[in-house]
Structure 1
Amino acid sequence: MEERIQEALSSIRDAIQMDGGDVEFVSYDGLTKTAFVSLQGACVGCPASVMTLKMGVERTIKKVAPEVENVEAV
């Protein structure tokens, strides 16, 4: 599961880095089916980071790993 999540993040990392941010995989909780990621760089404190997390990161992870039900930033 972690490899698939890492693969999903790699596929969108360039787009996030173009805006000065980054995203890093932290962990996956199989009980709650939640992936935890860390938004970094320009994403920290950015008002659009929630949109990046839900519409970009979460959507991409769910496409590669449909078992993931939630993605949360830590």
Structure 2
Amino acid sequence: MDSKEKTIELIEQALETVRPYLHADGGDVKLVELTDDLVVKLELQGSCQSCPMSAMTFRAGLEESIRKAVPYINKVVSSNVPELA
């Protein structure tokens, strides 16, 4: 397993810790891409796409979980919610 695959595995594990909360509200998140310059692109799904709390969930939940698991990530962005890009 190369380092990018390992990083993706760590990101997925971090997302799994937050998913139950997203599922409880009818939403989910998908890892779209890990770029070569260590930018994580996520796609909010279901009710998370249009939820007024999505920015807080994204930054305080998803991004924080990823940064704890993978501190060397440069940025976490949304591929489908413009204000989180």
TM over 0.5: yes
Paired residue total? 73
C-alpha displacement of 1:47: 1.4
SS in structure 1 opposite 2:68? helix
- Taking structure 2 as the reference length, what is the TM-score of the superposition? 0.81
Larger radius of gyration: 2
RMSD across aligned positions (CA): 0.9
CA distance in 1 between counterparts of 2:18 and 2:68 reads 12
Higher helix share: 2
Q: TM-score normalised to the size of structure 1?
A: 0.92
What does 1:1-74 correspond to in 2, within 5 Å? 1-31=7-37, 33-74=38-79
**Structure 1 portions without partners, runs of 5+:** none
Unaligned ranges ≥5, structure 2: 1-6, 80-85
Greater RCO, 1 or 2 (C-alpha within 8 Å, sep 6+):
1
Percentage of identical aligned residues: 36
Q: Could you list the runs of 4 or more consecutive aligned residues of structure 1 that deviate by over 6 angstroms after TM superposition?
A: none
Higher strand share: 1
